[in-house]
Amino acid sequence: MAQLVQINVSKGGVPKKPIHSATVTVNGVEGDKQKHLKYHGGPERAVCIYSLERILTLQREGHSIWPGATGENLTVSGLRWDDIKPGVVLKVGNDLLLEVTSYAVPCSQISEWFNDKKSTRISQKMHPGWSRVYCKVLQEGSIKPGDFVMIKS
């Protein structure tokens, strides 16, 4: 079963640090802020999600990223990441419903964790299936690491 591995927040920017639990509203994970609101945050980009399996593969390639380094709010494990695309609805824990709205374009703020300083390694355009995704909140809820994650549609 897929699960929520880590919840990550920051006061703005990256990396985001793990927390023990969170309430997620239509505005995103409570306690989290984004540095550049033109590109991050807002109702259509309220929550950023990334795959632990993708992070581990990138580490094996020699990149020094870890959960939260690329600015994702939720690090998940056990999902077929190639199936996570715009329009997919995810249920996290008992209440939280998220709809994937777009792929997150990698920015220069995360480039230091890539060998060649090019964060394009996780660009959907250049490496399909390796991007983080943005979600809007369809139903608010409280979550904690270990909660199940499942595709609803």
- CA of 126: how far to CAs of 88, 102, 108, in Å? 22, 15, 16
Count how many Cα atoms sit within 13 Å of the Cα of residue 35 in the half-sphere of its side chain.
11
Q: Which residue has the tokens 């964060």?
A: 119
Token readout for 46 is 């309220």
| Number of domains within the chain | 1
pLDDT number for residue 34: 65
- CA of 111: how far to CAs of 13, 68, 71, in Å? 13, 14, 12
As a whole number, mean pLDDT of residues 23-31 equals 93
pLDDT number for residue 107: 82
Q: Sign of the C-alpha dihedral, residues 103, 71, 59, 53?
A: negative
Of the chain, the percentage scoring pLDDT greater than 90 comes to 78
Q: How confident is residue 13, by pLDDT bands cut at 50, 70 and 90? A: confident
CATH number of residue 17's parent domain:
2.40.33.20
Tell me, yes or no, if the pTM score tops 0.85: yes
- CA of 98: how far to CAs of 24, 59, 95, 118, in Å? 10, 27, 10, 29
Name the DSSP class of 96.
E
Range of the domain at 51: 3-151
35-57 residue pLDDT tens = 555 555 567 889 999 999 999 99
pLDDT number for residue 1: 85
Taking 90 as the threshold, does the pLDDT of residue 147 lie above it?
A: yes
